[in-house]
Every structure is written in C-alpha cells, then in structure tokens.
Amino acid sequence: MPGVEGAPDGELAGGGPAAAAASADAPDIHRVPPSTRVPPDLTAAAFFDVDNTMMMGASIFHFARGLAARNFFSGSDLRGFVWQQLKFRLGGEGSPDDVRAHREQALSFVAGQSVSELVALGEEIYDELMADRIWEGTRALAQMHLDAGQRVWLVTATPLELARIIARRLGLTGALGTVAESEDGVFTGRLVGELLHGPAKAHAVRALAAREGLDLRRCAAYSDSVNDAPMLSVVGTAVAVNPDSDLRAMARRRGWEIRDFRSGRKAAKIGVPSVLGAGAVAGAVVAGAAYRRRSTASRLAERLVG
C-alpha cells in the first residue's frame, strides 16, 4: 500500500494546500485497522464531513465553548473569534480578501498555547460536550463501511488535532483537517495552507486516494452542506446527511441518497445550518464564556444576537 515515508512534510503528488492537509494526517492513517470480520477492501473508503453530519452543531464551537469555560479567552479574543466564524458561516467564502481575513483569524484563539495541552483539553472537551452530540445514524453508516473492511476518514475544516481526536474516539481510520502551524510545540495561530473547506476537501480526498490506491468510483462521501458538493461529486456514492435546503435540492436533482436523522423541533433548528445553525452555535460559545465571564458574555451576546 502506498505510504508517505521519506516524503517532505506537507508534500504529496500534486502538491498544494489540500495535499498538505492530507499529508499531515499520515501518522493516523493506519491507527485503527479495518474490521477483522471480513478481508480488507483496499480500494474503497468512505469520507465523512463532521459538523452537522457526524456531530450535531460545529465541533470547533464546542471546543471553543469548553476552552471558554476554562478561562482560556479574554472578552476581546472570544468576540473576535465568534464574529469571524459567524461572518464566514453566514456569508460563505466571500471575496478573496474576506477568505484571507478569515484564514488569518481562524485559529488566532489558540495562538501561544501549548499543542500538547490543547490536545489533552480536547480529549476532555470531547467527553464533556461532543460525545453526546454524535448522530447515531451517521455513526452507524461509518460502521457499515468499517464492517465491510473499508477505511473511513473524517474530512473537515476543523483543526486537524481536534479532528483526529473525534476520529479516534469513533474508531475511524483517521482524519483530514485544517492544519494549524506550531513552533517548538506552541501554536502560532496561523494556518499551514488553506482552510479545508469547499473545493479544498475534494483536492484533499483526491490526494489521499492517489496515495492510498483508492478507486474513487468505489468510494462514498457524506455531508450536510452544499459547500461540500465538490467532495461529494468526486466519489461514486454521494449521500446527503441532514442536508441543508440547497444540498437537498441538489441531491434530488442528481439522484443522491438522502439520510435525515433529525426529527421534530430539532430538525427545524438544525435544518438551516447556514444561518440559524451558525447563530445557535455562536450563542453556545457565548454561553460557555458566561460561565466564567458573565459581564463580557452579556455584552457579546447583545452585539451578536441582540
């Protein structure tokens, strides 16, 4: 099976930021073997988005909420982080300047923090705020692929370290995620390459498939968002999970399967991730900050949702 031994960090055939994101995951690729019930299927795999697909809400906001409860944020840090994330999710990618600004701000809240310490906290925060938010239906779909001897990766804009924690806890093969730069074991707050978002996910999946010898026609991809249409379009089987309205319409036009694990009032809340979902998750971060910084959170809440 193709490997990456001897390749420079961040380099894959074809190069580019998405390739860097995929290459950075190399140490985790074979951490969890396929199910031993059947022989490994070496040319087929599945790729799952995380936010609102594998997990209710946005993993980065659950993580930020956990950090806020631990007093990691100042009021200005939290306000800037929430505002940039909310603007990006409400408005989409926007102009090149908007994307550049978001890229520069995306992980600013971890600047100066120890990588090992934040990874350890990520393990705690997963147990506290994420484990109960995994969609059981989506988890069962991932297990179906594992039981068929196939490998399963998460593909997400979430920072790679957090994505790896989620993948490991779910017993998946590994994760592709946004790569945060670190120096001497400390996060700089900058990114390596671009956010793993939109077309970048498709590039990362192609790069991984080339390295691992996968036949993309035999692979499957799962997402809730029309932003992931490029990733869904490069595989043989595309499945819309808890889809937003645009992805639902696209799935119907293209004959893609639709799986919706939401019901009742929860579905109404989560079914509009571009606007309502972003506001709700931003509110969750504000609520987490309120645990330690009530006055700051109140002012922030008034500005964002008042």
Tell me the catalytic residues: 49, 51
Q: How far apart are CA 59 and CA 186, in angstroms?
A: 21
**Closest by CA position to 138, among listed 120, 160, 156:** 156
Neighbouring C-beta atoms of residue 289, cutoff 10 Å = 29
| Sign (positive or negative) of CA dihedral 181, 95, 53, 35 | negative
Q: What is the number of helices (H) and of strands (E) in the chain?
A: 13, 7
Q: Return left, alpha or beta for 162; rule: phi > 0 is left, psi -120 to 50 is alpha, else beta.
A: alpha
**159 CB contacts (<8 Å, ≥6 apart)?**
60, 107, 110, 177, 178, 179, 180
